[in-house]
């Protein structure tokens, strides 16, 4: 039994970049050029990817140490990777070359030290095998799907999209009553991993766009069609698709430390995850526009007041209070919960697509020129597409 009965919706995706925080107070010890070169060599020897946020810091510090303050022109809004690098470098302001060199060496040293200490991610004895980016457990009639890339703020990779699909398929068939999605570490999810944009397949950007469209369509479909109560336990800040998907959950619990941000128009993109449909129904048209059009970041309290969040808890007692409730729900009759979930969805979300049938969306919106976004596309990418194909680029890579 699926959650919805008819097909109609728009699904597009946005990428959100991490905020770069660099502490620049205090006098830096001078390091020699030899130390700087040694740090560069050590960086190449790291076995683990340090994550996008750290790589942006390293890039910014290296540029500041070798060239000084950023003076290059700001890249276009849709040149995602270059814009993230430019923002990181510009954020250093007038930091001196010596101080930047010191901070670069210190950061590399901390990465080497961390890796040599052989730190491993938190796992549990009953965690299901076959997942690299998730931690999936089933205990007391509850299946918990935990985003498990805490060192990268649980940024979503292509692999994680596929693993979440697999986990939802398994949870739909197992004996659990309730399924919970949460994050490991201090973030719920920081949006999409920038590497999704840089790993261009042999077929080029157009193939990446088509593959991305199919993947996201399948991903969102699994949330819409999921037959059991689905609960989000938002343990920290949430960005991008991790926010827009919340409209497809039955209950959303949040710590008072959580924030909710969907900066689509800043990136020249459109809302994804059915949020252009669910958000106005949940919070009203004008309030949804503040988030989806004007990039309003909500606090946990604001998200609760607008209906996006079911209940907010103090961070110090968050896990304890939330899991008391979830365990109580799991003792309720399974068949009754499945039936009630289906009825609620059929009544309130009748226009959502089911079983991946996005035909109305594809034949309508995807074939209409979006001249504003086409004009915002970097010239280097525009040359890859004819005007007839431009909407494929606009809506498909933005799914990642």
Asked whether the predicted pLDDT for residue 320 surpasses 60, the reply is: yes
pLDDT of residue 83: 81
Q: Where are the beta strands (DSSP E) in 55-206?
A: 134-139, 142-147, 178-183
Q: C-alpha distances in angstroms, 304 versus 152, 229, 307, 345?
A: 27, 19, 5, 21
Distance CA 260, CA 94 (A): 31
Chain region(s) in the chain for CATH 3.90.226.10: 134-360
Q: Say which CATH topology domain 134-360 has.
A: 2-enoyl-CoA Hydratase; Chain A, domain 1 (3.90.226)
The yes/no answer on whether domain 33-116 falls in CATH 1.20.80.10 is yes
Percentage above 90 pLDDT, the chain? 46
Asked whether the predicted pLDDT for residue 125 surpasses 70, the reply is: no
Q: For residues 380 and 108, which has the higher predicted lDDT (pLDDT)?
A: 108
Q: C-alpha distances in angstroms, 166 versus 131, 218, 231, 306?
A: 9, 11, 17, 32
3-62 pLDDT tens trace: 654 333 433 344 443 443 444 333 444 678 888 888 888 888 887 777 777 888 899 999
pLDDT bucket at 172, cuts 50 / 70 / 90 = very high
Output the CA torsion sign for 70, 75, 79, 83: positive
User: Which range, 7-21, 203-217, 300-314, has the best average confidence (pLDDT)?
Assistant: 300-314
pLDDT bucket at 81, cuts 50 / 70 / 90 = confident
Q: For residues 200 and 282, which has the higher predicted lDDT (pLDDT)?
A: 282
In the three-class reduction of DSSP (H, G, I as helix; E, B as strand; rest coil), residue 234 is classed as strand
- Among 123, 121, 119, smallest CA distance to 111 is for 119
Q: C-alpha distances in angstroms, 337 versus 68, 87, 173?
A: 61, 47, 15
Q: C-alpha distances in angstroms, 151 versus 57, 177, 180, 251?
A: 14, 31, 21, 27
Distance CA 159, CA 177 (A): 26
Alpha-helix residue ranges (DSSP H) falling in 79-139: 80-90, 97-116
Output the CA torsion sign for 24, 29, 34, 38: negative
Asked whether the predicted pLDDT for residue 310 surpasses 90, the reply is: yes
219-243 pLDDT tens trace: 999 999 999 999 999 999 999 999 9
Q: What average pLDDT does the segment 370-386 reach?
A: 43
Distance CA 65, CA 30 (A): 12
Asked whether the predicted pLDDT for residue 124 surpasses 70, the reply is: no
The helix or strand, by DSSP H or E, that contains position 239, with its residue range, turns out to be: strand 238-239
135-165 pLDDT tens trace: 999 999 999 999 999 999 999 999 999 999 9
In the three-class reduction of DSSP (H, G, I as helix; E, B as strand; rest coil), residue 34 is classed as helix
Q: What average pLDDT does the segment 333-361 reach?
A: 65
Chain region(s) in the chain for CATH 1.20.80.10: 33-116
Bridge partner list, 261: 239
Asked whether the predicted pLDDT for residue 218 surpasses 80, the reply is: yes
176-196 pLDDT tens trace: 999 999 999 999 999 988 777
b vs e for 31-63, b when ≥16 Cβ sit within 10 Å of the residue's Cβ?
beeebbeebeeebeeeeeebbbbbbbbbbbbbb
Average confidence score pLDDT of the chain? 78
């Amino acid at each position: 039994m699926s959650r919805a009965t008819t097909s109609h919706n728009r699904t597009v995706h946005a990428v959100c970049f991490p905020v770069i925080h660099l502490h620049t107070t205090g006098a830096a010890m001078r390091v020699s050029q030899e130390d700087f070169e040694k740090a560069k060599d050590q960086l190449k020897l790291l076995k683990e990817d340090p994550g996008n946020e750290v790589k942006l810091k390293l890039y910014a510090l290296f540029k500041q140490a070798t060239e000084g303050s950023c003076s290059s022109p700001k890249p276009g809004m849709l040149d995602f990777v270059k814009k993230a690098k430019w923002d990181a470098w510009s954020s250093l302001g007038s930091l001196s070359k010596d101080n930047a060199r010191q901070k670069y060496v210190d950061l590399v040293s901390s990465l080497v030290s961390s890796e040599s200490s052989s730190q491993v991610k938190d796992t549990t004895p009953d965690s299901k095998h076959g997942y690299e980016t998730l931690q999936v457990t089933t205990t007391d009639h509850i299946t918990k799907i935990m985003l498990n890339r805490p060192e990268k703020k649980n940024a979503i990779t292509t692999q994680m999209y596929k693993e979440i699909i697999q986990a939802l398929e398994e949870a739909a068939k197992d004996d659990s009553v309730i399924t919970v999605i949460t994050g490991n570490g201090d973030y719920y999810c920081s949006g999409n991993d920038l590497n999704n944009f840089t790993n261009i397949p042999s077929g080029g950007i157009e193939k990446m766009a088509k593959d991305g469209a199919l993947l996201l369509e399948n991903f969102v479909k699994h949330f819409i069609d999921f037959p059991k109560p689905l609960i989000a336990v938002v343990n920290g800040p949430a960005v991008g698709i991790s926010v827009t998907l919340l409209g497809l959950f039955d209950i959303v619990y949040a710590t008072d430390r959580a924030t909710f941000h969907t900066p689509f128009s800043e990136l020249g993109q459109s809302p994804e995850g059915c949020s252009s449909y669910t958000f106005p129904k949940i919070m009203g048209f004008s309030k949804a526009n503040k988030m989806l059009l004007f990039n309003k970041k909500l606090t946990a309290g604001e998200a609760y007041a607008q209906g996006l969040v079911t209940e907010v808890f103090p961070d110090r007692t968050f896990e304890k209070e939330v899991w008391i409730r979830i365990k109580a729900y799991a003792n309720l009759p399974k068949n009754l919960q499945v039936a009630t979930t289906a009825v609620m969805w059929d009544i309130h979300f009748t226009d959502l697509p089911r079983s991946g049938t996005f035909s109305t969306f594809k034949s309508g919106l995807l074939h209409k020129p979006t001249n504003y976004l086409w004009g915002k596309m970097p010239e280097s990418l525009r040359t890859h597409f004819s005007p007839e194909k431009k909407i494929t680029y606009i809506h498909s890579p933005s799914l990642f």
